[in-house]
Structure 1
Amino acid sequence: ARPITPTFGEASSPAVSPDGRWVAYVHSYEDEDVIAVVSSSGKGWPQHLARGRDFYMQPVWSPGGDRLAWVEWDHPNMPWDGSELRVAELAFPEGSLPAIARSEVVAGGADVAVLQPAFSPDGGALFYVSDETGWGHLYRHDLATGERSALTSGDCEYGTPSWGQGVATFAVLPSGRLIVTQQRQGFARLVLIEDGGEARELDIPSDYASFENPVASPTAERLAVLASGPAISPRLLVIDLEGGAPEVTTVRLSDPEAFPAAGLSLPEPVSWTNTAGSEVHGLYYPPASERFEDHGPPPLVVFVHGGPTDHVDAGWRPQIQFLASRGYAVLAVNYRGSSGAGRETMLALRGEWGVADVEDCRTGAEAMTARGLADGDRLAIMGGSAGGYTVLRSLQVHPGFYRAGVCYYGISNLFTLASDTHKFEARYLDSLVGPLPDGSSRYRERSPIFHAHTIADPIALFQGTEDRVVPRDQSDSLAATLRSRRVPHEYHVYEGEGHGWRKPETVDAFYTSVDRFLRRYLLG
């Protein structure tokens, strides 16, 4: 094997032309991103097809190889804030690489997110997801007439934030039919859209609740997809639609061992009203344990997802199942700013990170207590990365509300997060907190590291030595302040770990420590 792209910079999202001669890809070097094309033989130097925008994503060839489509956008936007879908007609000069003859933007804009371009099998149309109506829906753009039509509708999501290249929620079958993932209140299902536009749910014989990155066979009516459920660990499925009714084959399991049903919790979708008067959604997991029996409402752990532009769905969640198996109820909060509930909800965290998320977690715990689903005197909050930031802010803003907090590689300094991160997220905080330097006072006010002295409730901190997102010295400083003020705390540092745990021994040590810590402060 030998490289066919330059050894400097990074190449991503490669797309091979239908005739196999060319590879289009996104090339990133220093602060510039471009769409480039190179010969698949590796002979010759690549040529830039598109440049001048800050970001490019997911280049895709038309079946005839005469067009290329991609998504592009600029700072300070993230792709889910606003992006554009561009289609280019290609020219093929003799003896040269393909070049762009003409191009046009066919969808998206500064306040509309588009993603996942895919050509129809006959090359006459382009499919994509857009949130122009306030929800991520699937559209068809006719390349001959310019007409477009919506293929889905309703208050549900058919897209997801593009945190990286290759994210997909739908696939185009050889017949022109589409399979798309529909998300509603944390539960997903697969929907088949016929060539004429009729849609129906696929009858999949199992309790799956999450489907990721569907991929269609190029030659048969088959689909590969990653699937999981609250009691089903992730697995790779192949769904055959050749005979009409779907035939499902499990190709590979992430864990070959079946988990005992008695030790697993099935989530219930819940909602409540926050202090702003808007509705917040979440998933409530009741305790699922034969060993840990209690009388009355159970202790509750509020689980805060990362991102923060992300959400918790009802797919396989080992952290949550671990807690439920130990006798805790868990409330997974899709606070303001979460995806999966429409554009308005996703953008509701603009300028409010560290405030709105904190309040939505608190009001969620209060709602579960009022419904008899939680013991209000035994509440804890737990999260990592952006979720860890919410944990720290919650303990500072609402001292005494939670009996304990668990924070793993949590963000504590917004200034360093804004200045030291990679290009993709370099302006992310412009919308979440505000642009610098004008927002400096807000950054300081909401950075937990500057207010560590206000934390009085027990907290467990977990940190990797090689974390480049949250440098170790931030957690060291937090722990030192807690120690000087004699706040009950634990501080665990894992050698060689980054922003997330990779080593089995680290994962084991983490869960053992969390179990012991929560037992002490919620069950003790």
Structure 2
Amino acid sequence: MAGQKTAAYGSWKSPISSDMIVQGTISLVGMCFDGADRYWVEARPSEAGRNVLMRQAANGMVEEITPAPFNVRDRVHEYGGAPFVIHEGMVYFSNFADNLLYVRKPDGTIEAMTSDTKKYYADGVIDPLRNRLILVREDHTNSDIFAETTLVSMNADGSNEQIVVSGNDFYANPRFSPDGRHFAWLTWNHPNMPWDETELWVADVMADGSLQNERKVAGGNQSSVIQPVWSPDNQLYFVSDKSNWWNIMRLEHDGAVTTVCPMEAEFGSPSWAFGISDYAFVDPDNIICTYSQNGRKYLATLGVASGMLALVETEDTYFTSIHSNGGKIGYIGASPVSFPHIVVSNPDGSEVEVLKSSAALQVSDDYISVPESIAFPTEGGKTAYAIFYPPKNPDFVAPGQEKPPLLVHVHGGPTAASQAVLNLSTQYWTSRGIAVVDVNYGGSTGYGREYRDRLKGNWGIVDVDDSANAALYLAKRGDVDEDRLAIAGGSAGGYTTLASLVFKDVYRAGASHFGLSELEVFVNETHKFESRYMDGLLGPYPEAKDVYYNRSPINFTDQLSCPVIFFQGLDDKIVPPNQAELMVEALRKKGLPVAYVAFAGEGHGFRMSENIKRSLDGEFYFYSRVFGFTPADDIEPVQIDNM
């Protein structure tokens, strides 16, 4: 193009700065209805990551209903989720600072309902007949890793708290039928995670609120049941992967189970947090739902009698937090060219209203890299999947035959998935001349249970192989420079990053964001929810002690021969700081270039704007030193030992 400047990849000047990202964006955590009112939660980096509950009233007025310092977030399972429940203008919410449950009344007054900071609450539901709440409670009074999880009830003022269901390791999704006569919940036990095996239970509710005739109606036998929902006419629906795919099921009155719409598609997503909602009833006969097929999401209405799907016309390609108040539907949507935003519309997709966007920024489409979904060969003659973002900046062209560096991004979980939605953090790289590939390695969700189970016993192998093969596939295709490959990830993605750098000679640099390096330490020090996660990923401990040793990057630093940068929150309870510090010290002793950036006051994932900025710019600066390009921006240097 005329007027383009010639500059090396990585040296391009971009309008998408780290300041823009942290100052101009928020995260949209979820939305719901209370009658005609619409509610949603905003996570604001500019307020140290504070989660704020917002409301748009029926008259259109928008207001913040949880003022500072309240932070609408909970610690149950450490990942939290569903920190509030709303009923006829009464808002009950968990506050992150003290773990207490609060109530906000229609007149705006806010009062504490509980007083014990060792008891965490989430995923509440209102009893439609008895003016009480039932919530998941995680009691840390005696222990963190052995915290007791139960379902508890309490009056609307917090009084008369008592356990109603107990005895298993975990509970989720307490749900009353609309007539208040039946109650359903999910439960599971170690060593299962909720995407491995759960059970769905139902009980009859007596006049005094007690539960009778408790019975398991679905799940068990290595099937994952998620998201139970009662229809307006008091019939129980849920999502099960018994067929290999998470499909919507119905519990018939005779106890039989019917698949509403059998498809090789995922109508659910992994329960890392509470409150995930992938479908909702519009009326007794119709469901609004999202499903994933071949790595892409769709929005559709589903007739419960016919089992027929009708796609909803929308430009969005990603959907979550699906809700309905009977007249309208609401969800968080996004696409490769649109930021996540909250949408309210008619069930057929007409009369669309965008309540809130995660960014009010004006970025020209000329700087936005539109991704390509790729499928590539991997070990064992199998196929894996990824999302590739080539460099894009209308102002620059690279010299000669130069090919761009590639940043391989590994998502966390590892039972999660990358989605093709507009993310300025990704565009930060591509607009500077760095290609990015988000790898949905074997173990990722969205491709059926069989694909998800590829990681069983093979964590540190399948994810490492698939990530490397994605990079090599793009290099062989001619899209990127094979000699300038880097890999980065957070949490479980940080582990895959470190394992890839140790066990593969593919990359020339890496960045671990709060990643695991010593698996035995993690087993002994992590929180309850994930304390037996490794049983499925690696094997039971200590029986599989050798596997833990042989998959731990810290034990094989002699095989590491490239620079690494580490970013770590000092308050991280999921991956404690010593996981990074053990690895950093080993690399320092070996004489390899290594950088360590620690953040006080941050937990698992960075929420403060200054730390998000520092980690993004710091990683880019690190690669500039390793790959030898000069950033166009004036970036605060990172201390790199042995450089």
Q: Output the TM-score relative to the length of structure 2.
A: 0.76
CA contact (8 A) 1:5 1:46 kept: no
Conserved 8 A contact 1:157-1:341: yes
What's the counterpart of residue 307 of structure 1? 413
Deviation of the 1:292 alpha carbon: 4.5
Following TM superposition, by how much is the alpha carbon of 1:215 offset from its aligned partner in structure 2, in angstroms?
Answer: 1.5
Bigger relative contact order (CA 8 A; separation at least 6): 2
Residues 453 and 481 in structure 1, CA contact (< 8 A), matched pair in contact too: no
State how far apart, in whole Å, the 2-side matches of 1:360 and 1:517 are: 25
Aligned positions, number:
510
Structure 2 CA distance for partners of 1:350 and 1:292, relative to 1, 3 Å? farther
Match of 2:336 in 1: 230
1:296 CA displacement: 4.9
**Which of 69, 80, 94 pairs up with 2:184?**
69
Alignment of 1:57-206 (within 5 A): 57-93=172-208, 98-123=209-234, 125-142=235-252, 144-196=253-305, 197-204=307-314, 206=315
- Tell me the distance in 2 between the aligned counterparts of 1:42 and 1:304: 43
CA distance in 1, matches of 2:301, 2:521: 45
- In structure 2, what residue type is equivalent to 1:214? I
Secondary structure of the structure 2 residue equivalent to 1:346 = helix
Q: Distance in 2 between matches of 1:391 and 1:215?
A: 36
Deviation of 1:523 (Å): 5.4
Q: Note the alpha carbon deviations across 1:379-399, whole angstroms, 9 max, x for none.
A: 111111111111111111123
2:501 maps to 1:395? yes
After superposition, the C-alpha distances for 1:116-162 in whole angstroms (9 at most, x for unaligned) are 11111011x111110000011111222x2223322223322111111
Match of 2:127 in 1: 17
Q: Tell whether 2:547 aligns with 1:415.
A: no
Distance in 1 between the 2:417 and 2:490 partners?
A: 13
Q: Please, which of 269, 276, 288 is the counterpart of residue 380 of structure 2?
A: 276
Measure how far apart 1:20 and its partner are: 5.6
Q: 1:28 to 1:498 in 2, by over 3 A?
A: closer
Residue of structure 2 in register with 1:33 after alignment: 149
Bigger mean CA offset, 193-202 vs 60-69: 193-202
Conserved? CA contact 1:453–1:482, under 8 Å: no
Return the letter of the residue paired with 1:278: K
Give yes or no for contact 2:526–2:575 (8 Å, CA) kept in 1. Answer: no
Question: Alpha carbons of 1:245 and 1:381: their partners in 2 closer, same or farther (altered >3 Å)?
Answer: closer
Alignment of 1:49-60 (within 5 A): 49-60=164-175
Secondary structure in structure 2 of the residue aligned to 1:316: coil
Contact 1:271 1:280 in 2 (8 A): yes
Query: Once superposed, what is the RMSD of the aligned Cα atoms?
Result: 1.8
Report if the CA contact (8 A) 1:213-1:226 is conserved. yes
Does residue 538 of structure 2 align to residue 433 of structure 1? yes
Partner of 2:598: 493
Is the 1:4–1:38 Cα contact (8 Å) retained in structure 2?
no
- Structure 2 stretches of 5 or more lacking a match? 1-109, 141-146, 630-643
Compute the displacement of 1:236 (Å).
1.0
SS of the residue 2:212 aligns to: strand
Q: Which moved more, 1:53-62 or 1:181-190?
A: 181-190
1:280 aligns to what SS in structure 2? Answer: strand
User: Deviation at 1:5?
Assistant: 5.3
- Residue 291 (structure 1) shift: 4.2
State yes or no: 1:212 paired with 2:323: no
Please say if residues 444 and 450 of structure 1, whose CA atoms lie closer than 8 Å, have aligned partners that are also in contact.
Answer: yes
Q: Which amino acid in the other structure matches residue 300 of structure 2?
A: V
SS at match of 1:390: helix
Partner of 1:334: 440
Query: Which residue, out of 359, 379, 392, partners 2:485?
Result: 379
Q: State percent identity of aligned pairs.
A: 33
Q: Is the 8 A contact 1:302 1:332 kept in 2?
A: yes
Q: CA deviation at 1:245?
A: 5.3
Q: Does 1:246 align with 2:350?
A: yes
Q: Offset at 1:28?
A: 2.0
Q: CA deviation at 1:180?
A: 0.9
Contact conserved, 2:261 with 2:308, CA < 8 A, in 1?
A: no
Unaligned runs of 5+ in 1: none
Q: 1:480 to 1:303 in 2, by over 3 A?
A: same
Q: Contact 1:185–1:269 (CA<8 Å) still a contact in 2? A: no
Instruction: Rate the CA distance shift 1:466–1:372 in 2: closer, same or farther, 3 A.
Output: same
The whole-number CA distance in structure 2 between the counterparts of 1:5 and 1:170 is 32
Deviates more, 1:21-30 or 1:34-43: 34-43
- Corresponding residue SS for 1:276: helix
Q: Does 1:366 align with 2:472?
A: yes
Q: 1:518 aligns with which of 623, 626, 643?
A: 623
Cα distance change, pair 521–186 in 1 and its aligned pair in 2 (3 A)? farther
